[in-house]
Amino acid sequence: MYNVMSKKAVEFIDDQEILETLAYAEENKTNVALLNEIIERAGTYQGLNHREAAVLLACELKEQNDRLVKLAMDIKKKFYGNRIVMFAPLYLSNYCVNGCVYCPYHFKNKNISRKKLTQEEIAKEVIALQDMGGIGTYILFQETYHKENYEMLHPTGPKSDYAWHTEAMDRAMEGGIDDVGIGVLFGLNKYRYDFVGMLMHAEHLEAAMGVGPHTISVPRICPADDIDTDDFSNAISDDIFEKIVTVLRIAVPYTGMIISTRESQASRERVLKLGISQISGGSSTSVGGYDTPEPEDQNSAQFELNDTRKLDDIVNWLLEMGHIPSFCTACYREGRTGDRFMQLVKSGQIANCCQPNAIMTLKEYLEDYAAPATKYNGEKTIARELASIPSDKVRGIATAHLTELSSGKRDFRF
């Protein structure tokens, strides 16, 4: 039985509740009055529950879908401005005891090159990432919320325990971790089922732990060593992917949304304006791969990249589209995590904190790493975006710090 407060995975992600939600959405996907009512409620920027969001995802009416796109863009602008946080994953090892059928790291794959970085190699990789301009973080994906399919996709190893995996965020937060990130791998199961399950997970964390997820990731299954996407009949189109991002942005306005280099440049362009707030760039999905490029015959990558551009190319691309690439880690360093960060977002003060921090970290990148064309576009962006800092005092301090950054000083933050 569905219980959002329960600590049991099968109760806060209740299969019957999801099926009833999907049936309700199907029945009401052309119900103009209900659709308009939900869209009006979403326009208050308070988010939506999983049933309301499911109806919007199922909606087939052009007028209402156009309103959803506009609303998602408005929410993105209100809470995140033009900021896009940059990150890069660092793989430490690809040895694995699990049997996940969609991942080339599964223990039965004898073709992939197995690697494990030493402490010295890890240090070199971190330095290489620093020299690119930024370091990412760790997030645990659910993969799919459909218990039966989950167990079929994970037949062996510790990860095969659905409850243990699904309840991991509760244990992490109880252990003192403020910020957690959730996500599914779209294509492993019917996308509407996992969409609802993911929102139910977010609702559970908000209700039971006091704060929802800091981020939601939206990866799609893609080709890899020993893995053929044709084997997965639930793979989703670009149009469906765009709709998922649109409705997620509306349903969870305060939650960051992540897209990786699994997606092509064209695909990322489609969804950046709709709600994505974090992207990877210049990524390696091999073990290491930043300090020393990996020989082709020693490939250890988890999946193929669809956006293989270098970090500076991606930074310049973002600048040309009007975004502010941000390398900021100030909230982690200042202890603004969990409910403290959410209050910053909900109060609107994020523009007096994240905006100047984004501008200053971009300035550091331009001074230390950028190509001339990127630096030129970046300086124009900084001049434009300074004006969008609401507080005169904060704007003045940020302007002074920008001058200091030009003279060689570093590491300013609000």
Does any domain span residue 322?
A: no
Is the domain of 111 the same as that of 39? yes
Does any domain span residue 298?
A: yes
Of 12-26, 44-58, 276-290, 362-376, least confident by mean pLDDT is 276-290
337: region left, alpha or beta (phi > 0 left; psi from -120 to 50 alpha): beta
Is the domain of 150 the same as that of 268? yes
Phi and psi angles of residue 257, each rounded to the nearest 5 degrees, phi first: -125, 135
Does any domain span residue 320?
A: no
Half-sphere exposure of 217 (CA within 13 A, CB side): 25
Tokens found for residue 400: 């002074």
Of 228-237, 316-325, 356-365, least confident by mean pLDDT is 228-237
Is the domain of 263 the same as that of 208? yes
Q: How far is residue 142's CA from residue 128's CA, in Å, rounded to a whole number?
A: 30
Is the domain of 223 the same as that of 364? no
Q: How far is residue 124's CA from residue 170's CA, in Å, rounded to a whole number?
A: 34
Domain that holds residue 229: 9-309
Q: How far is residue 180's CA from residue 138's CA, in Å, rounded to a whole number?
A: 9
Does any domain span residue 326?
A: no
Average pLDDT value for residue range 88-112: 79
Residues 6+ apart with CB under 8 A from 115: 93, 94, 286, 287, 288, 298, 300
pLDDT at 409 > cutoff 70:
yes
Residues 6+ apart with CB under 8 A from 396: none
Q: For residue 261, give the nearest of 306, 218, 301 by alpha carbon.
A: 306
Is the domain of 223 the same as that of 355? no
Does any domain span residue 31?
A: yes
Does any domain span residue 128?
A: yes
Does any domain span residue 112?
A: yes
In the chain, how many domains are there?
Answer: 2
Q: How far is residue 293's CA from residue 295's CA, in Å, rounded to a whole number?
A: 7
Q: How far is residue 183's CA from residue 179's CA, in Å, rounded to a whole number?
A: 14
Asked if residues 381 and 366 have their Cβ atoms less than 8 Å apart, the reply is: no
The pLDDT score that the predictor gives to residue 247 is: 98
Does any domain span residue 411?
A: no
Residue 201 is part of a domain; what is its CATH number?
A: 3.20.20.70
Domain boundary residue, one of 309, 334, 360: 309
The pLDDT score that the predictor gives to residue 228 is: 65
Tokens found for residue 63: 């007028």
The pLDDT score that the predictor gives to residue 135 is: 45
Is the domain of 252 the same as that of 361? no
Which stretch of DSSP H or E encloses residue 264? Answer: none
Is the domain of 234 the same as that of 371? no
Residues 6+ apart with CB under 8 A from 326: 83, 84, 85, 86, 354, 357, 358, 361, 362
Banded pLDDT at 309 (limits 50, 70, 90): confident
Q: How far is residue 41's CA from residue 134's CA, in Å, rounded to a whole number?
A: 38
| 154-197 per-position pLDDT tens digit | 999 989 999 999 999 999 888 888 888 999 999 999 999 999 99
Domain boundary residue, one of 280, 309, 338: 309
Asked if residues 84 and 279 have their Cβ atoms less than 8 Å apart, the reply is: yes
Is the domain of 135 the same as that of 229? yes
Q: For residue 35, give the nearest of 58, 56, 66 by alpha carbon.
A: 56
Tokens found for residue 96: 């694995």
Beta bridge partners of 343: none
